[in-house]
Amino acid sequence: MNRLRGQSGLTYVIWSVLTVELLLSVATGRWPVAFVSLATLALTMTPIFLAPRLNIRLPRSIVAAIVVFIFATLFLGEVMDFYIRLWWWDIALHGMSALGLGLAGFLLVFILFEGDRYAAPAWAIGLLAFCFAVTIGVIWEVFEFAMDQTFGLNMQKSGLVDTMGDLIVDIIGAGVAGLTGALYLRGKALGSVSALVEEFVDLNRRFFRRFKG
């Protein structure tokens, strides 16, 4: 349990909410809510236990972002019916996921170049990050289609319109992430984004032997 220590206050608040909801749901026999609460709690803790196995150290800010996203997707979306109550909820989450995946793609490419800002043109690395995020978005839409066709679910909601809307949002989010990565390589001040990248680099120096802050 030592790995769960040292996280952000927001992360602990969400874990507390999920734990309380889990206990209340079990006590009142609301088993579907209990299952979703337990699954959400487990998934939000997964990156913390998975990262050491991959020999990666995650900054608290990245862990907090992952926890918030999973909480918003599963618990708020499914248990609290935010997908129904707020028409823009699904759009916002797709944008967040695309932005996050784009930054993850940027860090992955940056690792491949060992942190060398000049190993490739900034626009090329930004484009690779963009492609990475969009590819994941497309794979997810294929997964939704497969689940609907195989199990009779309704993950695609309105079908083609929902799928295309999601992909458009994915492209916009991935584009913002790719542009952000390219600007960072050009030395543009990006506030919290630059701080997040440099914090990740500092925690994982062995992957960035050519990095010069």
Measured over all CA atoms, what is the biggest interatomic distance in the chain, rounded to whole angstroms? 59
Domain that holds residue 188: 87-213
CA nearest to 100, candidates 128, 129, 124, 76: 129
Q: How many CA within 13 A on the CB side of residue 126?
A: 16
Which of 86, 119, 145 is the last residue in one of the domains? Answer: 86
Summarised one tens digit per residue, pLDDT across range 151-210 is 676 667 777 888 888 899 999 999 999 999 999 888 886 777 888 888 998 999 999 888
- Both 179 and 123 in one domain: the answer is yes
Angle at 31 between CA 90 and CA 10, to 5 degrees: 50
Among 55, 86, 117, the domain boundary falls at 86
Residue 50 tokens read as 């998975």
Question: Do 24 and 74 fall within a single domain?
Answer: yes
**pLDDT per residue as tens digits for the range 1-24:** 677 888 999 999 999 999 999 999
75 with 109, same domain: the answer is: no
| Same domain membership, residue 194 and residue 93 | yes
Q: What is the pLDDT of residue 1?
A: 60
H or E segment at 160? helix 160-185
Residue 189, sorted as left (phi over 0), alpha (psi -120 to 50) or beta, turns out to be: beta
Residue 185 has a pLDDT of 87
- Do 108 and 211 lie in one domain? The reply is yes
